[in-house]
Amino acid sequence: MAECGDESSRTPPRWGYGAERLPATLDELDGPKVGQVELPLHLAWSGLLVFDVGDLKLLLGLYRIVLNNGLRDDFSKYLDGELLVRHWPILRQMLGRGVRGTWEERFPELRPPAAV
């Protein structure tokens, strides 16, 4: 199926993970680096709602939920750019292809090193 026009003029897909959800830069991700985070029900509608950022397992769970279910404002509020880059090698394995690909396409610093 052919698409015309530039990317900014395209209608976002109804069911998909479009790049329009993402921040312009990872610097916009200004979420907590320490302490506890309580997610709202629109993100974590089932299971754990409070996450300790200092606990790696809980941090990865928090980021997985936000990356999968969040929108731009959620990313800025709950994710930290530095922590995202540091833990991306593990996180990318926890995400679906669409989410992982969209983030790695927008932010080259998240892409795995090229195989030699």
Residues 28-82 have pLDDT tens digits of: 999 999 999 999 999 998 889 999 999 999 999 999 999 999 999 999 999 999 9
Indicate whether 14 pLDDT > 50: no
- The answer to whether the predicted template modeling score (pTM) of the entire model surpasses 0.85 is no
Closest CA to 80 of 114, 35, 113, 31: 31
* Per-position DSSP letters for 15-52, written without gaps between them: SS--GGGS-SSGGG-B--SSSEEE--TTT--SS--EEE
